[in-house]
Amino acid sequence: LLDCDVEEPNCHLFFDTRVQRSEAVCIPVPVLDATKCNGCGLCSQICQFNAVAFMGELPVLFQELCHGCGGCIWVCPTGALSEAGSEIGAVEVAAAGRCTLVQGRLHVGKPLSPPLIRAVKRRAEKDRLTIVDGPPGTACSAVAALTGCDYALLVAEPTRFGLHDLGLAVDTVRQLGIPFGVVVNRASGRSDLVRSYCGQQGIAVLAEIPESVALAQVYARGGIPADEIPELRPLFEALWSRVLAREAA
């Protein structure tokens, strides 16, 4: 189980976890040796993120904007720029019952989550079925979590806002070429919103999780509803079977 929602990982809340190891994750950022700089400006010109700017004769480095691509170092003709590691977070590996839980924790104030997400995914065990818990939305972090997955399960709530976000997510996974299905969360009389959209788009609705106070109470205390609410277990077992069947197809 890979928790790739690195800005607020929460999968560990549902297991009695024991962290086995933690590893720092760094990205390369430029460091300036002013004695070697000739003020040519090539480093500023190649940077697409405004992490290098010229003020006078020397560049000013904004490391919090750096994406670690190394372009500025590559174009520098005098070797005035070199790489140094900047720690953005950590990857933790823990035992969680029968699962291995790998989660990323992005340091507060660090804006770059994709490198940490990729570090989490590199620690997946190749010979085991892997579930990726991704961040919400369709930004870079969500794309980083989705990339390389065999199947995507999109969870939507039956509201106008939920339908809008589902449409964006559908566009994203289609562009990535990932097969997918939809689960309606907090299903109620309003679920026709999502069902109608999915019908028009030819998207399979694989399950509808009912709106339930009992379910919310179990979730709020860190329990697993499929374990604590017996009548819900068949729903999740059927969902799991449908996902495996569609992924295999």
What sign has the CA pseudo-torsion 30, 34, 39, 40?
negative
Residue 57 pLDDT exceeds 70: yes
pLDDT of the residue at 190: 80
pLDDT of the residue at 100: 94
Q: CA 219 from chain center: how many Å?
A: 21
195-206, pLDDT tens digit by residue?
999 999 999 999
What is the average pLDDT across 72-99? 94
Predicted structure pTM score: 0.89
Phi/psi at 129 (nearest 5 deg)? -65, 135
146-170, pLDDT tens digit by residue?
999 999 999 999 999 999 999 999 9
> Can you read off the two tokens belonging to residue 20?
């086995």
pLDDT of the residue at 126: 86
Average pLDDT, the chain: 93
Question: Please, where are the H alpha helices in the chain?
Answer: 42-46, 71-75, 114-122, 140-146, 160-176, 192-201, 213-220, 225-228, 233-248
pLDDT of the residue at 55: 83
Residue 182 pLDDT exceeds 70: yes
